Structures are given as structure tokens and as C-alpha cells.
Amino acid sequence: MIGVTILGATGSIGLSTLDVLARHPERYQAVALTAHSQVERMVELCQRHRPRYAVMAEAGAAERLRVALQAVAPEIEVLAGVAGLEQVAALPEVAYVMAAIVGAAGLTPTLAAARAGKRVLLANKEALVMSGALFMEEVRRSGAELLPIDSEHNAIFQCMPPRLSGLEQMGVSRILLTASGGPFRDASDEQLATVTPEQAVAHPNWSMGRKISVDSATLMNKGLEVIEACWLFDAPVERIEVVVHPQSVIHSMVQYIDGSVLAQLGNPDMRTPIAHALAWPERIDAGVAPLDLFSVARLDFRPPDLARFPCLALAFQAMRVGDGASTILNAANELAVEAFLARQIAFTDIPRVIENTLSDIPLRPVPDLPTVLAVDAEARARARHHVADCSQRFL
């Protein structure tokens, strides 16, 4: 029986993971579930899956959960805060950790899992965006297994040869990251200026959380994935190309020096990469419907429009310059998206906040966690200033 901790159990990735685990009760056990503050949802999940531990990042929510579970599952131990998250990420009875906490909040527990030598199922791209060198060093030092859950990176992983390292040794010439293009891929500049939060979170192909949906709409999600791919596959940013593929059937491709291009195809359902990473190198049922190529009928591709979607260009730029730029990029984007969802700034203000924040802060190496967190805090402070400027014009 393989013990699993799910960091971010109430989100879309967490719920999909629980669905896959429930299909294989003889193989997996959910040992620990975590959430931020959704107590009612957590009570439901605890009753259904009976973990040994439940963690709420928010202390008040943890106390409410503790009281609620006394009546229905008193055997479950409730923990709180970052310390609780780190504890369940490193439990000796846990072999696999699903890292699905959205944003910078997921960095420290995901690092704890890597340091403990777990199989880390990485759905939190910010861990690599904020601290790629530090994170990968912890993985190497501890002997942890790092398996990507983002559909694109999981597809690349599936298209790479086993037991080889380095693009040159593998004969890889390019990594082709596919992108749906989001809900506004055909929108005009005038339409982008009036986008509402409701429109931005309505992704045409995937069911995702609000923050990730906005990132997909701005193409920042693809930019973060470019940075993540550089670290995961030890690839220079020049070897990564983004391809807009509206059908979201090909999840990514790898091009080889002999002219071959390998692609991974499937229905847009996150249970496929989750099941792949849980069982790798085996395969298990994920509950996903088979792909019907006849109903798909056609596959379209086009280059991204970096002028209309500058967030993607900013991500490429941040990875090229290094020295904490991607840490700043991530922090500014989180603040800008939060402000947009709160109707404080316009959709088109999101890249403005990010670009201005990147221009404000002198770049420096981020060799350790305290430095990463300090740069993140400084970037958030500057981003708040730029959000306030944009808000005055927007309101």
C-alpha cells in the first residue's frame, strides 16, 4: 500500500487525484489531505477518504475543522499552518506527495517533500519558477523522484527516452509546448481591454481554478510552463517553443535531431497525467474516456501573438536574464491576477504590473530559500504599488 499526501486537496488537481486513488484502493491510501480554508469541503473529503491527517493552512480554519471532525471522524489528527504542511509532506509513511497548492504558498511544503526524498508529483509550477536551481538541487541531493503533473510537462516526459539525461545525449532539438490559447486567442485589442473576471475564468477546454484560468487567458500560464520546462528537462530557453493548438488534444511534443517529432495525445482531463505519475513506470486506469480521433477530425497549430499577450514574452525574458527575475515575475503576476479578480484593475493591466515590477527591482542571485522569500516579498510590495496606480485609472 502506497501512502499519499495531497497538498491542496480541495482544488481541481487534488480532487482529480482523490478520484484516481479511489479507483485503486488496493494500491494507494490517502494518508494526509491539506487545504487553505475550505472547512466544509475538507470535512466531506475526510469522511469519504479517511486520511490520518488533515491540515488547514489557516489556523482559524484548522480549529473549525478540528471541532467538525470530532463528531464524524475523531481519529483524524488536525494540523495547522506551514509547519503542518511541511510535516505531512515528509511523513515516513508517505511515499508520494501530490504538490497541488497554487502559487507561492506551495513552495515550502513542496521543498519539504523533495528534501525528504519523496516521489513529488509536481502540479505547483511556482516551486520551480520561484526557485528552480534551489529546488532541483534538493531533488538531486535527497534522491527524490520528480514527476510533472502539468499536462504539457507530463506529455514531454512521456515523449523523452528513459534513463537518459541532457538534451544532447537524447538527441532532442526542441521542446514544443502546446497552448490552447485560452478564451481570448481570437479577441481584438479592444475586446481584451474590456474582459471581465467571469469571461477570463471560463476556459474553453480545461476545468481549472480561478487563478490558473486567468493565467491561461493571459498566456502567463504558458510562460510559467516555459520556465518550469527549462528546469525539469535541463533545457536552455532557446530550445523551447510555444505552439498554440486550440483543440488541446496534443498536450506537447518533442522534436529530435533525426527529424522525428513525438507527441502525446489525449482528452483534456488531468486524471491522465495524475494516473501516469502515480503508477510510473506502469499504467493504471484513470477513468478518462478514450480519445476519439474521428470526432476530433482536425488539429490546428499557430504561433502565439506576443504583442497581444505580452505575459508570455515577459516569462521568456525572465528566464533568459535569471538572477531572481522569474521570482519577481511570479510574485507580480499573483498580485496582478488577484487585483483583476477583485475588479481593481483591467485585464490588460496584468502585464503592465508585471513589467513595471520587473523594471523596479535590481536582479540578484537567489541561492537559498530566505533570499527567494525576500525577493518575493519585495516584488509583492512593488507590485501592490503598481496595482494601486492602475486601479486609479481603471476605477
Instruction: Give the residue-averaged pLDDT of 160-183.
Output: 87
Q: Does residue 272 carry a pLDDT above 60?
A: yes
| Percent share of the chain, pLDDT over 70 | 97
Q: Does residue 108 carry a pLDDT above 60?
A: yes
Q: What pLDDT score was predicted for residue 207? A: 60
Q: Does residue 309 carry a pLDDT above 90?
A: yes
Domain 322-394, CATH: 1.10.1740.10
Q: What pLDDT score was predicted for residue 209? A: 76
Q: What pLDDT score was predicted for residue 286? A: 97
Separation CA 274–CA 262 (nearest Å):
20
The pTM assigned to this predicted structure is: 0.92
How many CB atoms within 10 Å of residue 163? 4
Q: What is the pLDDT of residues 337-377, one digit of tens each?
A: 999 999 999 999 999 999 999 999 999 999 999 999 999 99
Q: Does residue 39 carry a pLDDT above 90?
A: yes
Residues of the chain by 3-state class (helix, strand, coil), percent to 5: 50, 15, 35
The residue among 203 and 85 whose pLDDT is bigger is: 85
Sheet containing strand 53-56, edge to edge, reads 77-80, 53-56, 28-35, 2-7, 96-99, 119-122, 145-148
Q: What is the pLDDT of residues 46-81, one digit of tens each?
A: 999 999 999 999 999 999 999 999 999 999 999 999
Answer yes or no: are the C-beta atoms of 21 and 28 closer than 8 Å.
yes
Q: Does residue 208 carry a pLDDT above 90?
A: no
Q: What pLDDT score was predicted for residue 161? A: 87
Q: What pLDDT score was predicted for residue 163? A: 62
Rounded to the nearest integer, the mean pLDDT of the chain is 94
Q: What pLDDT score was predicted for residue 101? A: 92
3 state SS of 109: helix
Task: For residue 149, give the C-alpha cell.
Answer: 503533473
The residue among 6 and 167 whose pLDDT is bigger is: 6
Q: What pLDDT score was predicted for residue 145? A: 96
Q: What is the pLDDT of residues 239-263, one digit of tens each?
A: 999 999 999 999 999 999 999 999 9
Instruction: Give the residue-averaged pLDDT of 158-163.
Output: 85
- For cell 482544488, name the residue: 11
Q: Does residue 164 carry a pLDDT above 60?
A: no
**What residues does each domain of the chain span?**
2-148, 155-296, 322-394
What homologous superfamily is domain 2-148 in, according to CATH? NAD(P)-binding Rossmann-like Domain (3.40.50.720)
Q: How confident is the model at residue 165 (pLDDT cuts 50, 70, 90)?
A: low
Q: How confident is the model at residue 388 (pLDDT cuts 50, 70, 90)?
A: very high
Answer yes or no: are the C-beta atoms of 254 and 154 closer than 8 Å.
no
Q: Does residue 280 carry a pLDDT above 70?
A: yes
Instruction: Give the residue-averaged pLDDT of 167-172.
Output: 89
Answer yes or no: are the C-beta atoms of 230 and 132 closer than 8 Å.
yes
Q: Does residue 205 carry a pLDDT above 70?
A: no
